[in-house]
């Protein structure tokens, strides 16, 4: 199994398998980077409606080709049919959202279920047809590379390459529009046309992916890589690049895995590979990951306990909380018998001074944002300028000198 997998991974498992893996990688790159624009526009699930609405087109194209005397399974013909019905589905979503009061998610759900239902009706009609070679059509639901013709693999590879080319060509305006449509419009980009291009790209990915991943799961390839990439970066161009890499990797490894053993359907395997990458990222991503969140929380807790402990030291209160004691002891601020060390006394005095400065600052600046910055942790030097702090110090001394007046 491992050997077969390695063979497939290193393109040794036969010409067709190699071409499929290559095509899947290209498709993954195009889907990941193209899907990012959709995701950033918060329209990720629109691609689900688009993918499901390809089914009637596949059925009708098959029937038309059989009626014209063909075999009915010419991939180009089927893809052309699916493109037409996907466009109709997309237009239906747009029409429902713009002309009626139904929300976009309702329109998406309605279009995807109705088009898919109608497609299933057509499939059952086709099953009862006597002519034509209908066995391959179910493969469009979940994708299948088993028994794929060489010509089909070539079509998928070329389609994937074209989609990647489109992303490269339009990445700047697409980034601009998905990041800030108003600014894009103001700087002379035709937002509507770019949105249209994004939809075209998504459409191309969906159509090319039909045979490989299947119409039910292709949406995963458009959503999971961008979401994963988003966990790693806040910069649009990095997200686009990372999503493309993740998508390409998932497509390549998934196709190779699927070729290495029987009963490993291509589409689900590709989706699961990208989901594994997503789970890994959710745990380990630097800013948004679970581990990062836990670390951040722990650091915050330590800072809080340190500050409260030092305040207690300065005011000569007894500290009872075990965690506070542990934090202070570890930093060498108190001795094992809880008496403060030299450094501890210094730090405590500093914290107490900071607190009294804050108290004064809050009295002085009641009407602006300064009091809102007080969280019991931030040193006042990081909020106010040195002059302002010096001014506060003078006022504190003054108020102490005049016996507790308010210093004004």
Which residue in 271, 313, 334, 384 binds other proteins (CB under 8 A)?
Answer: 271
Using only C-alpha atoms, the chain has a radius of gyration, in whole angstroms, of 31
> How far apart are the C-alpha atoms of 26 and 18, rounded to whole Å?
12
Ramachandran sector of residue 397 (left: φ over 0; alpha: ψ -120 to 50; beta: rest): alpha
Identify which of residues 265 and 344 has a Cβ nearer to other proteins in the complex: 265
Shortest Å distance, C-beta 160 to other proteins:
20
Q: Are 67 and 59 in contact (CB under 8 A)?
A: no
Q: With the CA atoms of 197, 203, 207 and 210 taken in that order, what torsion angle do they form, in degrees rounded to the nearest 10?
A: 140
Place of tokens 């998508």: 247
Shortest Å distance, C-beta 279 to other proteins:
9
Contact segment (CB under 8 A) with other proteins among 166-174, 262-270, 336-344, 356-364 equals 262-270
Q: Are 214 and 142 in contact (CB under 8 A)?
A: yes
Interaction of residue 44 with other proteins, rule CB under 8 A: yes
Contact segment (CB under 8 A) with other proteins among 2-10, 61-69, 75-83, 282-290 equals 282-290
Shortest Å distance, C-beta 249 to other proteins:
16
Q: Which two tokens stand for residue 269?
A: 């395997």
Shortest Å distance, C-beta 379 to other proteins:
28
Interaction of residue 216 with other proteins, rule CB under 8 A: yes
Q: Which two tokens stand for residue 9?
A: 């991974």
Identify which of residues 243 and 313 has a Cβ nearer to other proteins in the complex: 243
> How far apart are the C-alpha atoms of 180 and 171, rounded to whole Å?
14
Shortest Å distance, C-beta 222 to other proteins:
8
Could you tell me how far CA 211 lies from the centroid of its own chain? 25
Interaction of residue 272 with other proteins, rule CB under 8 A: yes
Contact segment (CB under 8 A) with other proteins among 196-204, 237-245, 286-294, 387-395 equals 286-294
Which DSSP helix (H) or strand (E) runs through 98? helix 75-99
Q: Which two tokens stand for residue 210?
A: 């039909």
Shortest Å distance, C-beta 119 to other proteins:
7
Which residue in 125, 158, 343, 349 binds other proteins (CB under 8 A)?
Answer: 125
Interaction of residue 131 with other proteins, rule CB under 8 A: no
HSE-CB of 125 using CA atoms within 13 angstroms: 14
Q: How far apart are the first and last CA of the chain?
A: 82
Q: Which two tokens stand for residue 55?
A: 């089914």
In DSSP terms, 340 is beta-bridged to 334
Interaction of residue 60 with other proteins, rule CB under 8 A: no
In the complex, the residues that contact other proteins under the rule CB under 8 A are 39, 42-45, 48, 95-96, 99-103, 105-106, 108-110, 112-121, 123-125, 128, 138, 141-142, 216-217, 219-220, 223-224, 226-227, 230-231, 263-265, 267-269, 271-272, 275, 278, 282, 285, 288-290, 293
């Amino acid at each position: 199994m491992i050997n077969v997998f390695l063979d497939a991974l290193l393109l040794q498992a036969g010409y067709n398998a190699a071409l499929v893996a290559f095509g899947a990688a290209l498709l993954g790159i195009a889907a990941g980077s193209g899907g990012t624009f959709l995701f950033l526009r918060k329209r990720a699930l629109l691609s689900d409606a688009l993918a499901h609405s390809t089914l009637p087109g596949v059925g009708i194209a098959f029937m038309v080709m059989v009626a014209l005397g063909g075999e009915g399974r010419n991939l180009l013909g089927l893809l052309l049919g699916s493109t037409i019905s996907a466009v109709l589905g997309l237009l239906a979503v747009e029409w429902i959202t713009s002309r009626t009061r139904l929300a976009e998610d309702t329109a998406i759900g309605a279009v995807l279920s109705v088009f898919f239902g109608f497609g299933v009706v057509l499939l059952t009609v086709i099953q009862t047809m006597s002519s034509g070679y209908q066995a391959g059509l179910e493969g469009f639901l979940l994708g299948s590379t088993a028994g794929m013709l060489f010509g089909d693999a070539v079509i998928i590879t070329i389609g994937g390459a074209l989609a990647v080319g489109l992303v490269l060509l339009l990445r700047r305006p697409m980034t601009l529009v998905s990041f800030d449509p108003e600014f894009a419009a103001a700087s002379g980009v035709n937002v509507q046309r770019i949105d249209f291009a994004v939809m075209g790209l998504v459409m191309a990915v969906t159509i090319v992916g039909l045979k490989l991943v299947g119409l039910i799961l292709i949406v995963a390839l458009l959503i999971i890589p961008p979401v994963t990439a988003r966990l790693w970066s806040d910069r649009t161009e990095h997200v686009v690049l990372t999503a493309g890499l993740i998508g390409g990797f998932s497509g390549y490894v998934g196709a190779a895995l699927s070729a290495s053993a029987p009963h490993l359907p291509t589409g689900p395997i590709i989706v699961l590979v990208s989901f594994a990458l997503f789970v890994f990222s959710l745990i380990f991503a630097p800013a948004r990951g679970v581990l990062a969140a836990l670390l951040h929380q722990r650091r915050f807790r330590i800072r809080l306990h340190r500050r409260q402990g030092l305040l207690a030291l300065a005011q000569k209160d007894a500290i009872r909380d075990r965690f506070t004691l542990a934090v202070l002891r570890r930093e060498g601020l108190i001795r094992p018998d809880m008496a403060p060390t030299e450094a501890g006394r210094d730090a405590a005095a500093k914290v107490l001074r900071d607190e009294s400065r804050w108290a004064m600052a809050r009295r002085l600046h009641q009407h602006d944002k300064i009091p809102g910055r007080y969280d019991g942790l931030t040193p006042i030097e990081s909020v106010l300028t040195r002059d302002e702090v010096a001014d506060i110090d003078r006022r504190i001394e003054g108020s102490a000198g005049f016996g507790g007046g308010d210093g004004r």
